[in-house]
Structure 1
Amino acid sequence: MSKILAAVFAFVAIFFILGNAAPAPPTQVLDAQTAIQKIIAAYNRIPGPSVVYPWEVATLIDPNTFVAHY
């Protein structure tokens, strides 16, 4: 019983030591407009031309009549 107890104490000690050794960076909550601006700015840093794909017609699937054929 004492070996199991010692192992549990060792595990808990390691857990707390590692938890305090590398604290997580503080998170920054952004509003929607700021998040969109950051995404666009990150996209604009990608070099090269953008690829424009032709239009596709959306196909709607009726879940009541859809049958998957394998």
Structure 2
Amino acid sequence: MSKVLAAVFAFIAICFVLGNAAPAPPTQLLDAHTAIQKIIAAYNRIPGPSVVHPWEVAHVIDPNTFVAHF
């Protein structure tokens, strides 16, 4: 039991340390448009063709009538 309690206290301590970490400097904060543009630019630097998956039909499952068969 003491090992579990020690693990819980360690987890809580790590959460407090990460929660109090310094935020990024204002020069590194990006707005949504700039962040998306940077992601697209990084993706475009990947060599080779993109993988195109076939079109799929979306199926809606009624949770009231759904039965899982295992």
* Range class of TM-score, shorter chain: 0.5 to 0.7
Deviations 1:25-51 (A, max 9, x none): 852332211111111011001000111
Which residue of structure 2 lines up, in the alignment, with residue 66 of structure 1? Answer: 66
Percent identity (aligned): 81
Q: Which has the larger radius of gyration?
A: 1
Could you list the runs of 5+ residues in structure 2 that have no partner in the other structure? 1-16
For the residues of structure 2 that align with 1:32 and 1:41, how far apart are their CA atoms?
14
RMSD: 2.2
For the residues of structure 2 that align with 1:63 and 1:47, how far apart are their CA atoms?
43
Opposite residue 39 of structure 2, the aligned amino acid is I
Moved beyond 4 Å, runs of 4+: none
| Length-normalised TM-score, structure 1 | 0.55
For the residues of structure 2 that align with 1:45 and 1:53, how far apart are their CA atoms?
21
Which residue of structure 2 lines up, in the alignment, with residue 44 of structure 1? Answer: 44
Structure 1 segment 1-70 matched on structure 2, within 5 A: 27=24, 28-70=28-70
Aligned residues: 48
For the residues of structure 2 that align with 1:69 and 1:54, how far apart are their CA atoms?
27
